[in-house]
Amino acid sequence: MRHRTKTYALIATLVLLAAACGDDDAGTTAAQTTAATAAPTTTEAPATSAAPTTSEAPATTVAPATTTTAEPMGAITSDGSDYHIDWSMATPFFAPPAAGSGDPFYQLHSDPAADGFFLSVEAYTVYGTAWTGELGTFEIDCSPAGTGICVHFDPDGAGPEGNAGADFAATGQITFHELGPDGFRATLENVQFSNGITISGPLELSG
């Protein structure tokens, strides 16, 4: 009886030892599992995003060229009181000194009815003592003691403005390039009338 009791006691001891060993293995495994779980996995840092590319500036839109149609201009225009004349648009009349005339003179003038203005040069060869019909540059002086060269000008032709040279007081210079029975060519410069109107020129006249 005593022998069986020892045997049972030995078996129980072995069982307890085995259980203890089993617990140690389980604990070790559990510890390893816990350690493995606890260790954080290293997460790679996210790739740095490249800086956004700069958008190209939008192309500048070129405004379409504006086509300007020049307004047609007449034979005569003015900047205030200074008149500009395009003699090529006039329809001039020319006459040399009349044969047998008591006071012969060259005359060249526009046609106010056709041109809308009147410009006249009357160059006397006898009336003025300072000019007798030669070529060259002379003063405009419509007087017996002067050259006897007179200039008349009416900007609006048959309109109400009137002849600026009606008082025979126009001054300035004229250069005669050609004077003959078949042609008249001259240049007017710095012509001034007593009412303030001017023709600065140079204005080429021919007829």
Supply the DSSP string of 17-30, one letter for each residue: HHHHHHHHHHHHHH
> Taking residues 130-158, what's their average pLDDT?
96
Residue 34 pLDDT > 80, yes or no?
no
Q: What is the pLDDT of residues 44-57, one digit of tens each?
A: 433 333 333 333 44
Identify the pLDDT of residue 158: 81
With 0.85 as the threshold, say if the pTM is over it.
Answer: no
Identify the pLDDT of residue 71: 35
CA 126, CA 103: separation in Å to the nearest integer?
6
Identify the pLDDT of residue 28: 39
Q: Hey, where are the domains in the chain? A: 76-206
Identify the pLDDT of residue 47: 39
